[in-house]
Amino acid sequence: MNIEASLKNIGLDQKERTVYLKLLEIGEVSMTDIARISQIKRPTAYLVIEDLIQKGLVSETLIGKRKKYAAIHPNRLVEIAQDQKRQMEDSLPDLLALYHQSKSKPRIQVFENKAGMNLVYKDMFSALKNGAEALFFANVDAIHKEVPEVMNNFKESISKLKTIKIRELHYRSKTTNQWSKNFKKEYKKGYQLRHLSNEFEFGFTDNVIYENKLVIFSLKNHIFAIVIESEEIAKTYRAMFEWAWKMGR
């Protein structure tokens, strides 16, 4: 992430970012100099500096009859980010209350591309850390072909878990056999896999049920994930998984 993006993430607008970076670079200057080097009008420079002073990012010093302004040490940026994190953590219980206020109404979310896939897997692994079980209808060949880097991230995340509760259903293939062989060898207790008949093969998808969520990943051409959060839908698909699990070998 570049400097501009980092400053934007903690709430600095374009003019504030420009002025702060210029002050870091050249040191203590007057308001006239700030307007000139930042290429903004003097009245605007006053407003920007006032905001930066309030955020604790710029200091004001009176030298004779003139005021000089300088950037505060960049450590202050870290303090701001930490303060924002603490405020968000303090607000989290209220946010979660709003998020879960209607359990009877399904919540549907769509996540785009590989970055979206990783976000969904991150949520799943957070659930696994808390003891949840993940049930997969997986097309390992499709994942290996279309998103091998996601598969690598998956392996890395599993290795960090203290306990594993994962069951997977596949159809047989060379890739699937190697995948299951490696995982069974490394995670004997918590990882279980069964194969289904090749009579009906999965499409280019990956599907997982965990907690009250059903996730459907589409891996062909345009990659996306649909997350359906519903106790009843998850219950239904969990029952379908258990039925298929008994049919697997």
Going from the N-terminus, what domains does the chain have, and what CATH number goes with each? 3-76 (1.10.10.10), 107-247 (3.30.870.10)
Least confident of 35-39, 91-95, 136-140, 185-189: 185-189
Percentage with pLDDT > 70 across the chain: 95
**Looking up tokens 């549907």, which residue turns up?**
108
Q: pLDDT digit string (tens) for 199-245?
A: 777 788 889 999 999 999 988 888 899 999 998 999 999 999 999 99
Closest to 108 (Cα-Cα) out of 14, 225, 199 = 225
**Would you state the structure tokens that stand for residue 203, as one six-digit string?**
């499409």
Tell me, letter by letter, the H, E, C secondary structure of 138-162: ECHHHHHHHCHHHHHHHHHHHHCCC
- Number of other residues whose CB lies within 10 A of the CB of residue 57: 24
Percentage with pLDDT > 90 across the chain: 40
First to last CA, the chain: 47
Confidence of residue 59 (pLDDT cuts 50, 70, 90): very high
Whether the pTM exceeds 0.75: the reply is no
Q: pLDDT digit string (tens) for 200-212?
A: 777 888 899 999 9
The pLDDT of residue 94 is 83
Q: What value does the mean pLDDT take over residues 40-69?
A: 90
Compute the distance between CA of residue 179 and CA of residue 142 in angstroms, rounded to an integer: 13
**Would you state the structure tokens that stand for residue 218, as one six-digit string?**
């589409």
Closest to 229 (Cα-Cα) out of 114, 125, 102, 93 = 102
Compute the distance between CA of residue 96 and CA of residue 171 in angstroms, rounded to an integer: 39
Rounded to the nearest 10 degrees, how much is the dihedral formed by the CA atoms of 38, 84, 79, 53? 40
**Would you state the structure tokens that stand for residue 239, as one six-digit string?**
């029952």
The pLDDT of residue 110 is 92
The pLDDT of residue 184 is 66
